[in-house]
Structure 1
């Protein structure tokens, strides 16, 4: 009888765990625009649910996990400068004891590239952390890819 109860309890917890939803308050989209035969801009957009925010790429050490965009090496293109972002909202956060830059609703990061071929496959990873007023979700890393034509 104890085994049946134990098996039933394990099945119940497994079912409850499987039905728990994973929160994903940020969705990502990607685009590109060729600005000449040899240059293009890659756009990486974060759409953020109300009440949540992600952090700037320029957070100082000791702060939250900053957004980090890494481009995979390629012979089809080279990066021109760094990845740019609009001016973030800045707020003093007691938990980090510093002013921290972040974005709400949406943000578009841009990376200019120099093409070595007429088309290029651009890929990489984005590491970010999303928080609301009372908590932060663990940092996440996603892959991205876009074809420049």
Structure 2
């Protein structure tokens, strides 16, 4: 069914929440990621990953167990000058028994701050570094499908 612009405007005026609800269901609107290179040498690099999570939503943690929601996963695309040096440590997680999943869930609320240590596999550190972050965001009413954010970490001073 096609709507004229005037009919759509009337619908949005009568039900303003429709536009906001439809727009806010994208993972990139719910979780906003940044990646910053905090230290870099020829052999190692540290990246600070940060995210803000929209009110009413949460992101499942790195340490989320199997058999339920998808845990956060950090990776470096193949062909990059660096690889993950060690597992990333969880920080600031909330634990809660979720009756929908019938298990304890571990997640982040409001903010996520992680430090990622990388080991160099090429001669010179790049000016930017690709990092992929796969996450699942849920509210108390619904879970979005897992989504991979393709980030580009840049040095702190840029």
What is the count of residue pairs matched by the alignment?
Answer: 140
**Following the alignment from structure 2 to structure 1, what is the Cα–Cα distance between the partners of residues 30 and 79?**
31
Give the Cα–Cα distance (whole angstroms) in 1 for the partners of residues 111 and 130 of structure 2: 21
- Superposition TM-score, scaled by structure 1 size: 0.78
* Gap regions ≥5 residues in structure 1: 1-8
Please tell me whether the aligned partners of residues 131 and 153 of structure 2 are also in contact (alpha carbons under 8 angstroms).
no
After TM superposition, what 4+ stretches of structure 1 lie above 4 angstroms from structure 2?
A: none
Distance of aligned partners of 1:12 and 1:60 in 2 relative to their CA distance in 1, 3 Å threshold: farther
TM-score (ref. length: structure 2): 0.74
Q: Are the structure 2 counterparts of residues 53 and 114 from structure 1 closer, same or farther at C-alpha, using a change threshold of 3 Å?
A: same
Work out whether 1:31 is the aligned partner of 2:31: no
Larger Rg: 1
Over aligned residue pairs, what C-alpha RMSD do you find? 2.7
Partner SS state of residue 50, structure 2 = strand
Question: More strand per residue: 1 or 2?
Answer: 1
- Quote the offset at 1:36 in angstroms: 5.2
Structure 2: give runs of 5+ residues left out of the alignment.
Answer: 12-17
